Amino acid sequence: MRILAIVSAVVLMALITLTLIPDAAGFRWQLSIAALVAGALVLISVLAGRGSTAAPAPTAAMAEAVKPAVLPVARNQAEAEIVSFLALLQEKGRLVDFLMDEITPYADAQVGAAARVVHEGCRAVLKEHFGIRPVRDEQEGSTVTVGAAYAADEYRLTGKLTGKAPFTGRLVHRGWRAESVKLPRVSRSADDRLPTIAPAEIDLS
């Protein structure tokens, strides 16, 4: 484009000069038209050259400025959330107290009374944070059929397993599956320590 602009400018100057020569008076209008064409070419060349100017290559500083910031990821994030959920079961149902205690010295009535408290609290936590429903809706003990397209993790087939699906058998357990999870997000502490399941209680009286 630069070469075309230079050539057009030279031609334009030559045409303008010719229009000033008295002997070329008879061709003045042709020269004027040619000068206009040459001028138009100069203008087009300049505009095209300006529009096609390559953008400057990004410098290292510019690349660093547009680089997306990397958010710090807590190490073992899943572990922190598991412990946090265990803390919910402890808070609502005293599950950790029940499981970590040695229950052999207690009478069956005492264990049963404690289990009722654990059941009530832990059941409330599950219903609040999980959408849980049975894999099969039929009553346990009834005869059911498992189709050919069954999910392997939803069924445990026992007994004499021969041939290909569908399989027919007795429903021993309905199974459970989660359809939704609403657990709160938990971050590790600044010192990368797992959250506390239950704080130690100190009576200062």
For residue 94, give the 3-state DSSP assignment.
coil
> Which has more pLDDT, 2 or 124?
124
Look up residue 34 and give its two tokens.
């040619």
> Which has more pLDDT, 54 or 124?
124
Cβ atoms of 117 and 92 closer than 8 Å? no
For residue 178, give the 3-state DSSP assignment.
strand
Cβ atoms of 156 and 169 closer than 8 Å? no
Residue 10 clears pLDDT 70, i.e. is over it: no
Computed over every residue of the chain, the mean pLDDT equals: 76
Strand partners, 178: 132
Query: What number is the average pLDDT over the span 126-147?
Result: 95
Phi-psi region of 175 (alpha: psi -120 to 50; beta: other; left: phi over 0): left
Instruction: Respond yes or no on whether the N-terminal peptide bond of residue 195 is cis (omega within 30° of 0).
Output: no
For the chain, the domains span: 2-52, 77-131+175-181
Q: Which of the residue ranges 19-23, 105-109, 173-177 would you say has the lowest mean pLDDT?
A: 19-23
Residue 92 clears pLDDT 70, i.e. is over it: yes
Query: What percent of the chain is predicted at pLDDT more than 90?
Result: 46
pLDDT of residue 72: 47
Look up residue 50 and give its two tokens.
């300006």
